[in-house]
Structure 1
Amino acid sequence: MSVLILEPLDPEVMRWLADRHPVRYAPELAGDPRAFRQALFNVRGLVIPPSTALDAQALHFAPVLKAVGRVSAGAENIDLTACARAGVEVVRSLTATALAEAEFMIGALLAMLRRVPVVNEEGLLVGRELGGATIGLVGLVPTARSLAQLLAGFGARVVGYDPAVHANDPVWTRWGVEPLGLRELMEQSDGVCVQLGYFSRYRGLLGERYLSLCRPNQVLVSISPSGLFEEAALADALHSGRMSAAWLDSLEPGWLEPGRPLADIDTLQVTPRVASTTRESRVRAAWAVARRIDELLTGSTPAPRAEFRPTAPDDSLDLEAGAASG
């Protein structure tokens, strides 16, 4: 066997792969860890869903594995360090979900600005418009580029912060984003969009130090892992009214349980990672992953293209390269 697929893919993509490699489609293995490991012995390419873990133990059963692909967003189920040590490339498209995520964040901003009213100069409770607002982008990833373009169409001022991108980097100008420090961004933004890639060094980045400074009536939407936030600080910002509303599309298990800081806050909305999942983005991601796996198995390219994330778990995205910066 050459390619093992546990996640449903677009039928045309499946046929394309099957024309080039022996393919086994076995979604039932996603719920059976033991059978999954036993099936890995002669697998060179693998596509797995979020529910299937690929860790050092599983890799021990996959001596010829060269690539593991993820069509869905995120890679929390994949041990990136173990894959790097085993020489297994983790294949995820950088750009396939960017537009879907940007549209989701625009929708979330519009909903919160209208749904959570503020008191105007006449003493009336009113909604707000996105046009003329200042929107802060935390994380200069491909989604931010699409988001900045959409926000410009509304007439919003777009500012941004990324700890890995210097303020003098030309990418800020190319993407139409004004660079600010995180403190200034929180102080000036009517809405904040968080799409920063998660690394352990960023855990708790958005904590009391910055959330205590948010602009009055600020709204926030995040598609990043919730580990970027200090849950107590976010809860305090919402309870106190400094932040009018927040929408998180990814939340760690247990954060809404009774007794936890974010439990029972009616200005917090949580969705189960739906930002990146659209019909169109799934097709784009499936084609990108399938083509890269084909390249790796046939040896047609010596190195990953800029469209794909590196395997190394702590590498930053090179925004000057390829499709990410354009």
Structure 2
Amino acid sequence: MSVLIVEPLDAEVMGWLAERHPVRYAPELAREPREFRQALFNVRALVLPPSVTLDSQALHYAPVLKAVGRVSAGAENIDLEACTRAGVEVVRSLNATAQAEAEFMIGALLAMLRRVPVRSEDGLLVGRELSSATVGLIGMAQAARSMAELLQPFGSRLIGYDPAVHASDGLWARWGVDPVGLRELLERSDAVCVQLPYFTRYHGLLGERFLQHCKPNQVMVSIAPSALFDEAALAKVLDSGRMAAAWFDSLEPGTLDPGRPLHDIDTLQITPRVASTTRESRVRSAWAVARRIDEILTAAAPARNNFRPTAPGGEVDLAAE
């Protein structure tokens, strides 16, 4: 068997893969860890949902595995280092969810700016418009490019920060975003969107050192891993009212438990990782994953035997081969 599909896929995508490779569709294995591992022996490619873990122990059962695909966002269930050691490529689409994530963040900003009022100069509590806001983009992922394209018609001013993208990089000008330092971004932004990929060196990056400088009444939406934030520092700026509201599309398990800094803060809203999951984004992602899996399996296929048989004692013209 070449491909084991545990996550439901669009029927057309699955049919396309099945025309090219032997395919087994077995979503029930997501609920049966033992049977899942036993099914890996002759599998060369996998498509997994977020609920199924692929770690070094599971890889031990998959000696011929070449690729593991993720259609849904995130890869927390996959041990990336173990896959690298085993020579297994983790296949994800970098662009398929960008439009969905950008639309989600803009919707969250519009909701917070209008729903969480501020006091105007005449003393009334009122909402705000995105068109008059400076929006700070933390992380220049593909979602940030879609954000920039969608925000420009609003008339928003765009500034950005990414520790991996130098201020002289042409990307900033192409996307219409002014590069600034992280502290300056927080000081100037009425609204902040966080889509920075997580690496261990970024753990707690958005902590006391920077969050204490956020512009008063700032709103923030994050689709990035919550490990980028220091819980205590975020709780402090939200509880004090300096940051008007924050919206996270996911949090580490236990973050809101009693006794933790963010417990019972009513200006913090959480959604269960819905930013990237739309009908359209899943189809785009499924096609991208399927095509890459096909490329990997085709390239790994044994080469055809191109030798021509000869009679015993016959001469072979090597120059003609």
Q: CA deviation at 1:3?
A: 0.2
1:295 aligns with 2:295: yes
1:178 maps to a residue whose letter is D
1:10 maps to a residue whose letter is D
SS of 2:153's equivalent in the other structure is helix
Partner Cα distance (2:135, 2:287) in 1 = 33
Aligned to 2:316: none
Cα-to-partner distance string for 1:123-178 (whole Å, 9 max, x where unaligned): 00000000021000000010000001111110000000000000110111001110
Aligned to 1:260: 260
SS of 1:299's equivalent in the other structure is helix
Partner Cα distance (2:184, 2:251) in 1 = 26
Cα-to-partner distance string for 1:89-115 (whole Å, 9 max, x where unaligned): 000000000000000000000000000
SS of 1:152's equivalent in the other structure is helix
Q: CA RMSD in A?
A: 1.0
Cα-to-partner distance string for 1:226-259 (whole Å, 9 max, x where unaligned): 0000011101010001100000001000001111
Aligned to 1:205: 205
1:15 maps to a residue whose letter is G
Partner Cα distance (1:288, 1:300) in 2 = 19
1:154 aligns with 2:154: yes
Aligned to 2:227: 227
Aligned to 1:311: none
Structure of larger gyration radius: 2
Partner Cα distance (2:208, 2:170) in 1 = 31
Partner Cα distance (2:283, 2:244) in 1 = 36
Partner Cα distance (2:32, 2:235) in 1 = 38
Q: How does 1:31-46 map to 2 (within 5 A)?
A: 31-46=31-46
Aligned to 1:129: 129
SS of 1:294's equivalent in the other structure is helix
1:48 maps to a residue whose letter is L
Q: How does 1:7-86 map to 2 (within 5 A)?
A: 7-86=7-86
Which of structures 1 and 2 has the larger relative contact order (alpha carbons within 8 angstroms, sep 6+)?
A: 1
Aligned to 2:272: 272
Partner Cα distance (1:77, 1:262) in 2 = 25
TM-score (norm 2): 0.93
Partner Cα distance (1:34, 1:208) in 2 = 45
Partner Cα distance (2:4, 2:175) in 1 = 38
Q: Please list every run of 5 or more consecutive structure 1 residues that lacks an aligned counterpart in the other structure.
A: 302-326
4+ runs deviating over 3 angstroms = none
Aligned to 2:311: none
